[in-house]
Amino acid sequence: MGHSIHDPVERPPWNVGRTPGAKRALKPQQIWAIRFWLDREKRMRDRALFDLAIDSKLRGCDLVKVRIGDLASGGRVRNRAIVVQQKTGRPVQFELLEPARGSLLAWLGRRGGSLEDYVFPSRINHSDHLSTRQYARLVDEWVTGIGLRCDDTARTP
């Protein structure tokens, strides 16, 4: 007997073959491998984004919305910064280590802008922030760049 166009279609689930849940955290040697790879590829913005992600441990949605004024004052990057999380509404304080301060200072020097601008602007609308989806694509690219398969050995920083 034939099938009607109104019959439900059996589709495989979108996550077939993937391990559900959180992925393993990056190991220190993998973090340094990504930093080295980003430096070798001369990707200043991505290095600053990666270093900020590692030091702050913010969710991607909060990371892309960080403003220059949250990180810098008086022509230098602060040692400590405070960002209000979108999900909880609570402020989170974190320390920026020397590698992060150096890469952020270099990126902000090249990027320019005022204290109210986003640190990582959108590639489409420079007055808006980088999208969370674009950030996820970048993380996949970084992890693939050092030879890790993103689906089973790395986690979004």
**In this predicted structure, what is the pLDDT of residue 18?**
77
The answer, yes or no, to whether residue 22 has pLDDT greater than 90, is: no
Name the amino acid, one letter, at 97: L
Task: Decide: helix, strand or coil at residue 20.
Answer: coil
CA distance 45 to 119: 9
pLDDT, position 65? 95
User: Using CA atoms, how far apart are residues 36 and 47, in angstroms rounded to an integer?
Assistant: 9
Report the CATH fold assignment for 28-153. Answer: hpI Integrase; Chain A (1.10.443)
pLDDT at 2: 62
DSSP 133-147: HHHHHHHHHHHHHTT
**pLDDT more than 90, % of the chain:** 68
Mean of pLDDT over the chain: 87
Q: What is the pLDDT of residues 123-143, one digit of tens each?
A: 888 789 999 999 999 999 999
d(CA 13, CA 81): 41
84-120: per-residue pLDDT in tens? 999 999 999 999 999 999 999 999 999 988 999 999 9
Q: In the Cβ-directed half-sphere of 7, how many Cα atoms lie within 13 Å?
A: 7
Domain borders along the chain are 28-153
Instruction: Tell me the sheet residues that pair with 84.
Output: 91
